[in-house]
Amino acid sequence: MTIFTLIEYYIQWGLIYITLYQVAVDNFIKGTDIEKLIEGGVSSPAYLMLAFLPSFVSVWIATIMYKLEKHEI
């Protein structure tokens, strides 16, 4: 197992964790006073998803492309 395979696994589990985090926190926040407190703030899970998902996906694709180039897949 190479370092790139480990990076790929970390990215996959990170994407899963962030998605589950957003679903859990969105369901918890809706209908509470916390929603008014963080409305429009950067701490909203939807804004965090917009920041992290594209970067994780692009790094994941770059890792796979590198592995394809080096014939590790």
Whether pLDDT at 42 is above 80: no
How far apart (Å, rounded) are the C-alpha atoms in residues 19 and 29? Answer: 15
pLDDT of residue 39: 58
HSE, side-chain direction, 13 A CA sphere, residue 64? 9
Q: What is the CA radius of gyration of the chain?
A: 16
Q: What is the pLDDT of residues 1-22, one digit of tens each?
A: 688 788 888 888 888 888 888 7
Q: How many domains does the chain have?
A: 1
Q: At what angle do helices 45-69 and 3-29 cross, to 10 degrees?
A: 160
What pLDDT is attached to residue 40? 56
SS3 71: coil
pLDDT at residue 33, rounded to an integer: 58
- For residue 34, what are the domain limits? 3-69
